[in-house]
């Protein structure tokens, strides 16, 4: 009976560690893609503008917003590889901000925005489903 309990705990710890690594990799990819999106916004030659859209942003400010969100996401993903609690909390916050930023640009680039929203949603799910004890035991 003890062996079965220990094997279940070991499997749960491996599962939790795998989810944190998944979230770290996905957040890093999400961050790099946000940086690229910010660079394209700064170049102004690539972005399409929609004149009848309710939310109007300065394209330079929009580009810097994406670059900063992406850079912070990459830094937080490095903290997730260390299984730090601060990184999990910041990861959920940054992924949520990325979802909001991509929601606001949904009419401009619908497919790209939906992909980024889904990617960030997976990151939030992976970081929230892991119990605190499991994530620290995985390190």
Residue 94 domain flag: yes
pLDDT in tens, 33-73: 989 988 988 886 666 666 666 556 677 888 898 899 999 99
Q: Which of 118, 115, 123 is nearest to 94 (CA)?
A: 123
Is 11 inside any structural domain?
A: no
Domain count, the chain: 1
Q: Tell whether 121 is covered by a domain.
A: yes
Query: Which domain range does residue 37 map to?
Result: 22-45+55-137
Looking at the chain, how many residues does it have? Answer: 139
pTM for this model (two decimals): 0.73
Summarize pLDDT for 80-136 with one digit per residue, the tens. Answer: 888 788 999 999 999 999 999 889 888 777 898 899 899 899 889 888 887 665 444
Assign 1 a pLDDT band (cuts: 50, 70, 90). very low
Instruction: Give the C-alpha separation, 116 to 31, whole Å.
Output: 10
């Amino acid at each position: 009976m003890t062996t079965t309990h220990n094997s279940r705990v070991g499997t749960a710890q491996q599962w939790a560690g795998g989810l944190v690594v998944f979230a770290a990799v996905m957040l890093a990819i999400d961050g790099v893609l946000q940086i690229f999106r910010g660079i394209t916004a700064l170049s102004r030659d690539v972005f399409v503008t929609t004149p009848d859209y309710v939310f109007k942003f300065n394209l330079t400010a929009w580009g810097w917003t994406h670059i900063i969100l992406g850079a912070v996401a990459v830094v937080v993903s490095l903290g997730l590889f260390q299984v730090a609690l601060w990184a999990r909390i910041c990861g959920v916050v940054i992924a949520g901000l990325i979802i909001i930023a991509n929601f606001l640009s949904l009419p401009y680039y619908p497919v790209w925005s939906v992909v980024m929203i889904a990617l960030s949603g997976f990151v939030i799910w992976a970081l929230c489903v892991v119990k605190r004890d499991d994530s620290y035991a995985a390190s």
